[in-house]
């Protein structure tokens, strides 16, 4: 039997600033390979309040989303759990470096890289913020594909084929 892995809830008094009658929660990622073709470069846009909630739950105390070394380190650790590349043979490639963050009211952009073996067929597991909202919808656009080939990740389908190998 599987054990539910639950996130310890911290009573957070901050409401979701964008809350509406039908709240919706989305993220968007642009994905591209670096010039050497061995590292996935990711620009990930999330709702700042959702990321703050996720980091707060993960840490067990209030985290204020700001661009400083501590929050960067927590964010990278969070991404390492929820934004991964898998090979068919089970290898896992995790975000290794968070280059920076741009935090605003309407969005927080996270810039990070994942070194991977691009000789392999890879799938992307993108469960970012699905621990905060069950209705979270994550979109990712591989820049080497046509615009309509955007990938959609939901709680029911958090993993999608991304790369067919060189």
Partner 1 sequence: MHPTRTALGLLALLAFSISPTLHATDRQSGPEKFAQLDYLLDTPTETRLASGAPGPVYWQQRADYDIEVTIDDRAQRLIGRETITYHNQSPHSLRYIWLQLDQNRFRPDSDDMLTKTAPDFEQFPYKTLANLLTRQDFEGGVDLKAIEDANGKALNYTVNKTMLRIDLAEALAPGEQFRFSVAWEHNIIDATAVGARGGYEYFEADENYLYEIAQWYPRVAAYTDYQGWQNKQFLGNGEFTLELGTFEVAITVPADHIVAATGVLQNPGDVLSRKQRQRYEKAQTSTEQRFIVTPEEAKQNESSRASVKKTWRFRAENVRDFAFASSRKFIWDARMAKSGSRDVLAMSFYPNEAEPLWSQYSTPAVAHTIDVYSRFTFEYPYPVSISVNGPVGGMEYPMITFNKPRPYKDGTYWDVRQKPDDKTWERSKYGLISVIIHEVGHNYFPMIVNSDERQWTWMDEGLNTFLQFVTEQAWEEEYPSRRGEPEKIVEYMISAPQVPIMTNSESIYQFGSNAYAKPATALNILRESIMGRELFDHAFREYATRWKFKRPTPADFFRSMEDASAVDLDWFWRGWFYGTEYVDVAVDNIALYQLDTGNPEVEKAWQKTQKDEREPTLGQQRNAEAETLLQRYPQLRDFYTESDEFSVTPWDYAQYEQLQQSLTDREKALLSVDKNFYAVTFRNIGGLVTPLPLRITYGDGEVEELQIPAEIWRRNANEVTKLFITDREITGIEFDPYRSTADADTANNAWPRKPETSRFKLFKEKEEPNPMRRDEQEKWEQPIY
58 vs 112: CA distance, rounded Å: 20
Residue 84: name the closest of 129, 143, 126 by CA. Answer: 126
Only segment of 85-93, 95-103, 115-123 that touches partner 1 (CB under 8 A):
95-103
Task: Rule CB under 8 A: say whether 16 interacts with partner 1.
Answer: yes
Q: Contact letters (x/-) for partner 1, 49-88, by CB under 8 A? A: x-------x----x-xxxxxx--x----------------
13 vs 141: CA distance, rounded Å: 34
Instruction: Collect all residues with Cβ–Cβ distance below 8 Å to 103 and sequence separation of at least 6.
Output: 48, 65, 66, 67, 109
Task: Rule CB under 8 A: say whether 92 interacts with partner 1.
Answer: no
Other CB atoms within 10 A of residue 67 CB = 12
> What is the total count of residues that contact partner 1 (CB under 8 A)?
66
**Chain contacts with partner 1 (rule: CB under 8 A):** 2, 4-9, 13-24, 26, 28, 30, 32, 41-43, 48-49, 57, 62, 64-69, 72, 99-100, 102-107, 109, 111, 127, 130-135, 137, 139, 141, 143, 146-148, 150, 152, 155-156, 158
């Amino acid at each position: 039997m599987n054990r539910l892995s639950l996130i310890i809830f911290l009573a957070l008094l901050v409401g979701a600033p964008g809350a509406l009658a039908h709240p919706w929660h989305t993220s968007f990622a642009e994905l591209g390979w670096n010039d050497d073709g061995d590292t996935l470069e990711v620009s990930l846009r999330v709702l700042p309040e959702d990321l703050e909630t996720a980091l707060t739950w993960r840490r067990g105390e209030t985290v204020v989303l700001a661009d400083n070394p501590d929050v960067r380190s927590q964010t990278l650790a969070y991404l390492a759990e929820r934004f991964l590349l898998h090979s068919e043979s089970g290898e896992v490639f995790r975000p290794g470096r968070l280059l920076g963050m741009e935090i605003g009211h309407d969005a927080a952009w996270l810039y990070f890289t994942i070194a991977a073996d691009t000789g392999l067929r890879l799938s992307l597991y993108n469960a970012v913020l699905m621990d905060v909202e069950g209705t979270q919808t994550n979109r990712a656009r591989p820049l080497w594909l046509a615009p309509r080939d955007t990938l959609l990740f939901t709680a029911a389908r958090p993993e999608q084929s991304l790369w067919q190998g060189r």
